[in-house]
Every structure is written in structure tokens, then in C-alpha cells.
A and B are shown apart, each in its own frame.
Chain A
Amino acid sequence: MEILSNLALGFGVALSPFNLLMCLVGVLLGTLIGVLPGVGPVATIAMLLPITFNLNPIAALIMLAGIYYGAQYGGSTTAILVNLPGESSSVVTCLDGYQMARQGRAGPALATAALGSFFAGCVATLIVAMFAPPLAEVALKFGPSEYFSLMVLGLVAAVVLAHGSLIKAIAMVILGLMLGLVGTDVNSGVLRFAFGIAELADGIGFVTVAMGMFGLAEIIANLEHKGTREVFTSKVKHLWPTKEDFKRIWAPVLRGTFLGSALGILPGGGALLASFGAYTLEKKVSKNSAEFGKGAIEGVAAPESANNAGAQTSFIPLLTLGIPSNAVMALMIGAMMIQGIAPGPQVMTERPQLFWGMIASMWLGNLMLVVLNLPLIGLWIKLLTVPYRILYPSILVFMCIGVFSLSNNPFDCVLMAAFGLLGYICVKLECEPAPLILGFILGPLMEENLRRAMLLSRGDPLVFFQKPISATFLVVSIILLVIIALPNIRKKREEVFVEET
């Protein structure tokens, strides 16, 4: 078997003491910055790039990749413990993870996230090893019309995220879409909704919105109840998931892994949808769907597996086509080029040691992360016993430093405060922030691809139905929309009924 000899070669490279050390340094650093809100892997990798110049290419890339998936692990920790999504992928983890933490089940939530991520990482690494080149071909099949239809599907799915009013959820998605349009229009270069503020020309940053809507709003809302001083219950039941928990999570982890692996391959924003998609899927198929949003363990297991799987498979377009699927991957390209390696299909044939070494190190890195993170859970739980009056100013300091560091400009703090206010108002009006965030992420992509598809087809809207992949997505969206709408309409009727009698 060729694959076995390739993997043997890879592990030979990755298991050398120095590369192992670099992998460990990477995942440690990644975990640290993942846990600290605001300072993301992009900034960290960028600042570390000059240090990697003195390393050999393999060690450098192993370390940088370690930072990337280490940050994913760390990011879910903060999402679960204090409701702060530092990455778009951990937004959905907040929904149920944080609720679990408040109920004294932070331990099982963190363990589920770690185990689910580890499993997903193993499977996805195997997929990268076995199918990278053919899957890269699939990635190229996705053009503007396919991406647009995928985004439509994603938005329909976003509505399922909400557990309250359907109309409010749709409205929040659209509000998010519109906020995503602030800044320079990709197609025409026109500055939109910037109101003469130069800082808005490049749009509003995701981190600023997420920190404001989730983090700040949550802190303010927690501080308003005079009676209940502590946010987290002091009765921590157990650190480890129970047998019942394991029974509930294995299927969501599997589904999340496969959905995440599939979406991660698409460089034009597929991975963004992975965790959202997995959550939606679980909410629809689960027996416990009523618990979602109130601390369902499936709501942590599925998106965490999905986003880690997506993080691994997003290396496929990078390694085989030289096309980055996100900002971190773009940095990896920079790192490779500076090392004199041109990313692209020839990496696999010309530098098999690098290619297979990196794949092997991904698996090792995931193993290190799970070994590292499981014992840490006890420590994190301790953190929640710190009185809230100590905890929240600390969270604020980390948030402010992180947001300020985005562009070294006070304006980002202003924006975060503005979104904190909006988030607080939304809490009061029972409008949920998660659909808004998804709309915000997808809005610009959706408009961009729609207009590009129309330009390329010279204005023929039928392209969306003529291309098989695109047509499939649209049909599925319509079906999904009907499924979502039906029980709601029925419920509404009942409500009306109740009122009349």
C-alpha cells in the first residue's frame, strides 16, 4: 500500500525530536492564544513568521499548523466558559456550551469538545492523507453560483439556530447580512455605509461584533440581577461525561465530522458553515431537540467535531492547489513562499517529506491537544468558582486588549461597545445574536458571489438552476424552509386558538 509507506515517511519526519518539540510549542501557543479572547491565530502566526525563518521549512510549518488547530481547541474553551467566541467557528459552541457551564456541567462540555475534536481531527487527517488530490478537484467545481446557493442553504439553516420566534430569527439574519455589507464593495469599489469614517472602509471585523454581541452583552446582563450574585452554580456535578452523555454524543460527533470534512474542502467559505451546519443538522435530527439552546450536549459535540474536521481538511486546497481558504491558510502560503516552497500540486511529489510530515504532525498535534486539554479541565472548572466580580473585569481586560490589537486603533473598542449595546437591547427584546452573526459572516460572501455569478452569466439568473450542484443546494434550501415553517405555522394556529377560547 502506497499510503502506508507515505504515512510511514510522514511519521518518520514528524516524530523526530525537534519536529515533535515544534509541534508541541505550536499547540501550546495555539491553546494559549485560543483561550485568550481577541488575539487570534492570524495575528500570532504573523508575528511569529520572522522567527520561523531560521527554522527548516518542515519544522516551521509544523509549528504554525499547530498554532492553528491549537487555537481552535483553546477557542472552544473560552466559548464554553465565558460565552466569548473568538473565532467564527466557536459561535455555535457558545449556544449550548455556555448554558452547560452555567448549570455546573462545564466539565462534560469541555471533555466533549476535546474528545469530539480529537476524533474529528483523526478522521479528517486520514481523509487528507488518502483523498487530497481528488478532493481538490471537487473544490474547483465550486464557482460563484455554487457558492451563492451554498450560502442560501447556510442562511436557511441559520434560522434553525434560533429557538425563539421564527420571524425574529429571520430578521436577525438579514440584519447581520446588512451589517456585513459595511465597507468597500468588492464589485464596484464603492464605499458603503461608512459615513465618512475611514476605519469602516474595510468593513466591520468579525471579532468586534462577536465580542460585543456575546461577551459584552452577557457581562452587562449578568450584572443586572442584584439577588443572584453568582452566574455559575457552585454545584459542579462531575468533570467527565456520564455514560448517558457518551450515548448521546457518538452519533452527533460522527455526523459533525463528516459534514465538517466535506465543507472544509471548499476554499470560498465552506469551512465557515461547518459548525453552523452541524448544529442545525443535530437540532433537526435529535430526539432532544427541545433541549437545544438550553444546554444540550449534542449542541457542543457536533459543531466542535465539525469545525475541527473542517480545519484539517481546509489544508487540502492549500497543499494541492495553493489556494488558501481563510486568513490563516493565506499566512501559511506566505510562510511557505518565504521558505522557498511554492504551494501547489507539486508539493506532494517534489517534497513528499514536507507534505506527509505535515499530515502526520496534524495527527500528533491533535493527540497532544487532547492529552493536554483533558487534565486542564479541572483547572478551568476551578476558574468558574472565582467570584464573578473578579472574573468579569478580567474578561474585559483580555477582550479590550484583543480587540485593540486588531488594528491598533481605539475605533475597534468603540465598535465593540456599540455592538455590546445592540447585543444588550437584543437580549431585552428576545432577539438572538447567533443568527445575526451567521448572517454577518455570510452576507458579503453571498452578495459577492451572486453579483459575480450574474456578471459571468451576463445576467442570466437561470445559471443557479442550470448547474447541478447549485440547483441541488437551492432545492434542499426550499425543502428545509418548508420543514422549518410547517410546525411553526401549526404552533401559531394553536396560539391563536388559545387566545380566542
Chain B
Amino acid sequence: MVIKSPKDFWAGVMFIAFGAGMAAIALTNYQMGSAVRMGPAYFPTVLGGILAALGLILFMRSLVLKGGKVPAFSFRPLLLILFAVLLFGYTLKPLGLLGATLLLVFVSAYGGHEFKWKEVAILYVALFIFSVVVFVKGLTLPFPICPAPLEDFCRF
């Protein structure tokens, strides 16, 4: 087996996995019903089947038709950016905007090519102040500004 078009090959694999996987979950867990009274499994099973079939076509085609290579993944920005987003989500309530924005800005900036401490620090302060003014004060989003133990110092 020679893969002539890696892009199509992997896209095919992805669609087969999603389609077959979701159809299998639907079939085993939910009721199929009939065309008259469709059960909750009906639509996902049909769609999953079509998706897997399309994946299979791509898969087969990738063995016949020539196509592009999959460009290399750059893991540094990928992992750092996604990690920064998760950090923000889980630290916003305990650490407030003060802490969560700090983590988000520094970690994500570290994922780029250039990282200048001073510049990122200024950016952080500016974004923190802007967020407090616009989101917490202006739009009254119920976000803590400071970490819980310091709450009393952060009433503006």
C-alpha cells in the first residue's frame, strides 16, 4: 500500500473514525426507532454511515491519485496556546482576572517567536486594566478581579 496523497489519506482516516465511532455509539446506546417514529439513534447512525463512506472514498482515492503532503505540525505554538486557554479557564475563578490574564498572556506570548519580558509585562497590565474596566465594570460580567484572599483590596 503506497499512500500517494497523505492529506487525503489522513482526512479519510479522520472522517472514518468520527463517522464510524459516532454511529457505533448511537447504535449501542440509543434507540433506532423506525422511519415513521425515528428514535434518537436514527439520524446519527445514518449520518455516521455517510461520513464513514465519504472517508473511505478519500482513503481509497489517496492510494490512487497523487496529492499534497501533510505540512509538519508546529507543536510549540499549538500546545502553548491551547494550554494558555485552559489555564485561563481554570484559574479565572480562583485567581481572578489579575491572575488568569497574567497566565494567559505570558504563556501564549511564550508560544510566539519573540518573547520580550518588558513588552509582555506592559501588554499584560494594559489588557488587565482594559478587561476590568470594560467587562467587569462596564458589562457587569460576574468575574472576580483579584484572587479570593485578596478580595478586599480589590474594590474599585
| A188 near B40: Cβ-Cβ < 8 Å | yes
| A192 near B111: Cβ-Cβ < 8 Å | no
Contacts of A187 in B (CB 8 A): 38, 40
Contacts of A167 in B (CB 8 A): 54, 57-58, 61
| Stretch of A15-23, A285-293, A455-463 on the interface side | A455-463
Q: Given contacts A178-B48, A224-B77, are A417 and B36 in contact (CB under 8 A)?
A: no
Interface size in chain B (residues, C-beta < 8 A): 74
| B37 near A412: Cβ-Cβ < 8 Å | no
Q: Mark B64-79, 1 if CB is under 8 A from A, else 0.
A: 0110101101100110
Chain A to chain B: the 5 pairs with minimum beta-carbon distance, closest first: A459-B36, A413-B89, A410-B89, A223-B77, A224-B74
Q: Given contacts A178-B44, A429-B14, A430-B7, are A393 and B127 in contact (CB under 8 A)?
A: yes
Q: Given contacts A216-B82, A417-B82, A451-B38, are A39 and B127 in contact (CB under 8 A)?
A: no
- What separation, in Å, do the CA atoms of A421 and B80 have in the docked complex? 12
| A461 near B108: Cβ-Cβ < 8 Å | no
B92: contacting residue among A399, A410, A428, CB under 8 A:
A410
Contacts of B93 in A (CB 8 A): 410
A403 CB to closest chain B CB (Å) equals 8
B142 at the interface (CB under 8 A from A): yes
Contacts of B113 in A (CB 8 A): 223, 226, 229, 389
| B44 near A192: Cβ-Cβ < 8 Å | yes
B150 at the interface (CB under 8 A from A): no
| A429 near B37: Cβ-Cβ < 8 Å | no
B35 at the interface (CB under 8 A from A): yes
Contacts of B50 in A (CB 8 A): 174
Within 8 A of B (CB), among A414-454: 414, 416-417, 420-421, 424-425, 428-431, 447, 450-451, 454
Within 8 A of B (CB), among A338-389: 388-389
| B78 near A193: Cβ-Cβ < 8 Å | no
Contacts of A495 in B (CB 8 A): 65
Contacts of A223 in B (CB 8 A): 74, 77, 81, 111-113
A335 at the interface (CB under 8 A from B): no
B148 at the interface (CB under 8 A from A): no
B28 at the interface (CB under 8 A from A): no
Contacts of A177 in B (CB 8 A): 47
| B7 near A393: Cβ-Cβ < 8 Å | no
Query: Counting chain B CB atoms within 10 Å of each CB, which of A47, A430, A455, A458 scores highest?
Result: A430
Main secondary structure of the interface of A (DSSP, over half): helix
A408 at the interface (CB under 8 A from B): yes
A–B pairs, 15, beta carbons within 8 Å: A32-B134, A33-B139, A39-B135, A167-B58, A168-B11, A171-B54, A178-B19, A181-B44, A188-B39, A192-B29, A229-B114, A390-B123, A397-B127, A410-B89, A429-B10
A397: contacting residue among B14, B71, B101, B111, CB under 8 A:
B101
User: Which A residues are within 8 Å of any B CB, using their own CB?
Assistant: 32-33, 36, 39, 43-44, 47, 165, 167-168, 170-171, 174-175, 177-178, 181, 185, 187-188, 190, 192-193, 216, 219-220, 223-224, 226, 229, 388-390, 392-394, 396-397, 399-401, 404-405, 408, 410-414, 416-417, 420-421, 424-425, 428-431, 447, 450-451, 454-455, 458-459, 461, 495-496, 499
| B65 near A499: Cβ-Cβ < 8 Å | yes
| A396 near B108: Cβ-Cβ < 8 Å | yes
A463 CB to closest chain B CB (Å) equals 12
| B43 near A181: Cβ-Cβ < 8 Å | yes
Q: Given contacts A47-B140, A420-B85, A430-B68, are A393 and B123 in contact (CB under 8 A)?
A: yes
Contacts of B73 in A (CB 8 A): 424, 428
- What separation, in Å, do the CA atoms of A219 and B80 have in the docked complex? 12
- What separation, in Å, do the CA atoms of A162 and B119 have in the docked complex? 40
- What separation, in Å, do the CA atoms of A495 and B67 have in the docked complex? 11
| B11 near A192: Cβ-Cβ < 8 Å | no
- What separation, in Å, do the CA atoms of A193 and B40 have in the docked complex? 11
- What separation, in Å, do the CA atoms of A310 and B84 have in the docked complex? 37
| A429 near B104: Cβ-Cβ < 8 Å | no
Contacts of A411 in B (CB 8 A): 89
Within 8 A of A (CB), among B3-50: 7-8, 10-11, 14-15, 18-19, 22, 25-26, 29-31, 34-40, 42-44, 47-48, 50
